[in-house]
Amino acid sequence: GAVVSQHPSRVICKSGTSVKIECRSLDFQATTMFWYRQFPKKSLMLMATSNEGSKATYEQGVEKDKFLINHASLTLSTLTVTSAHPEDSSFYICSAPDGSNQPQHFGDGTRLSIL
Amino acid sequence: AQSVTQLDSQVPVFEEAPVELRCNYSSSVSVYLFWYVQYPNQGLQLLLKYLSGSTLVKGINGFEAEFNKSQTSFHLRKPSVHISDTAEYFCAVSRSSASKIIFGSGTRLSIRP
Question: Residues A46, B70, B38, B110: is their CA dihedral positive or negative?
Answer: positive
Closest-CA residue of chain B to A49: B100
pLDDT for res B29 = 84
| Contacts (Cβ under 8 Å, ≥6 apart) of B111 | B12, B13, B14, B15, B81, B82, B83, B85, B86
The fraction of chain B above a pLDDT of 70, given in percent, is: 100
- Mean pLDDT computed over A51-62: 94
Confidence of residue B57 (pLDDT cuts 50, 70, 90): very high
Give the B-side interface with A, CB within 8 Å: 32, 34, 41-44, 46, 49, 51, 90, 97-98, 100-106
Please check whether residue A99 is in contact with residue B98, taking contact to mean a CB–CB distance below 8 angstroms: yes
What is the residue-averaged pLDDT of chain B?
Answer: 95
Evaluate whether B91 touches B25 at the Cβ level (below 8 Å): yes
Out of A32, A43, A108, name the one closest to residue B90 (CB). Answer: A43
Query: Who contacts A55 (Cβ-Cβ below 8 Å, separation ≥6)?
Result: none
The mean pLDDT value for A69-96 works out to 96
> What is the distance between the alpha carbons of residues B75 and B20, in angstroms, rounded to a whole number?
7
pLDDT-based confidence at residue A101 (cuts at 50, 70, 90): confident
pLDDT at A90 exceeding the cut of 90: yes
pLDDT score recorded for residue A41: 86
| A101: nearest CB among B34, B97, B104 | B97
Predicted pLDDT at B91: 98
Please state the rounded mean pLDDT for residues B2-28. 95
Question: How much is the pLDDT for B48?
Answer: 96
The helix/strand/coil state of A57 is strand
| Minimum distance, in Å, between the CA of residue A97 and any CA atom of chain B | 5
pLDDT score at A1: 61
Contacts of A104 in chain B (CB under 8 A): 97-98, 101
Inter-chain touch B97–A42, beta carbons under 8 Å: no
pLDDT value at residue A2: 61
